[in-house]
Amino acid sequence: MSAFPDSGLLHPPLDAPLARLLVSVRDPAEAEAARLAGADLIDAKDPDRGALGALDAARVREIVARIRAEGGARTSAVADGPRGIAAMAATGVDWVKVGLLPGLWGDAAALARAAAAAPGRLIAVLFAEDEPGPELVGVLAAAGFRGAMIDTAGKAGVRLTDLAEPHRLGTFTAACRAHGLMSGLAGSLRVSDIPALTAHRPDYLGFRGGLCRDLDRRNGIDPLRVAEAARALRPGARDAA
């Protein structure tokens, strides 16, 4: 039995924090469009390079500068593996994301070195295909990570909800809360997934393809879809409008 029971996850307290909207972008124009449409976190990555394709540092700096000049959103960027963490941290993003394959999960020294390259700013991305357990969250917290999220490695139509049962996602986000880490869920999500996934109380839900034109992650961000997702995540604001 899991150390993080499922009790209460499907019906979080009414005062539970709302999940925020992470939108992955590839250039400053997309970043600005996503921000204006309601994104809370602008995530820089290259959608043509798979789940965790890193942009070059100069492009990330441009994105960070655009968002900081306007305000209203935080920034993150994908690092090109553990060796690229320090370089991406130097761009000034609020958080750096790095993919962690199972071979690193048990290497406490390597995890600590990775976290030290972006102190207090490193987010671990774990792939649903690898079936990460909630016990890994404690390992990441001890190593100095700031947060953890579950994504999908494949981007050919297989979705997070196809790979991970609700109980697995609930125990993961509960583990993050217990260890003081931010949590995120992503992986070919659609706006229609928001009600079920917010029940697990993640800090962020991450989108790319589901908010692009024709639902194709290689196309540009569609501001109308971003705005739809933002409204779905903020029902109180929508009702008050």
**Nearest CA among 113, 95, 105 for reference residue 137:** 105
Q: Is 43 helix (H, G, I), strand (E, B) or coil?
A: strand
Q: How many CB atoms lie within 10 A of CB 174?
A: 23
User: What average pLDDT does this structure show over 60-67?
Assistant: 97
- pLDDT value at 191 more than 50: yes
Q: Is the pLDDT confidence value at 35 over 80? A: yes
Question: Is the pLDDT assigned to residue 238 strictly greater than 50?
Answer: no
Q: Take residue 131 and report the two structure tokens written for it.
A: 């079936």
Residue 154, pLDDT above cutoff 80? no
Q: Is the pLDDT of residue 50 over 90?
A: no
Residue 41 in 3-state DSSP? strand
Identify whether 155 is a catalytic site residue.
no
SS3 at position 26: coil
Pairing state between β 20-25 and 147-151? unpaired
Annotated catalytic residue: which of 97, 121, 208, 234?
A: 97
No. of helices (H) and no. of strands (E), the chain: 11, 8
Residue at token pair 């449409």: 37
Name the phi and psi angles at 110, rounded to 5.
-65, -40
Share of the chain above pLDDT 90, in %: 81
- pLDDT tens-digit readout, 68-105: 998 889 999 999 999 999 999 999 999 999 999 999 99
Sequence letter at residue 193:
D
Q: pTM of the predicted model, to two decimals? A: 0.89
What element of type H or E holds 104?
helix 102-105
- Marked catalytic residue, from 45, 66, 155, 225: 45
CA separation for the pair 147, 184 (Å, rounded): 8
Tell me the domains of the chain and their CATH numbers: 23-240 (3.20.20.380)
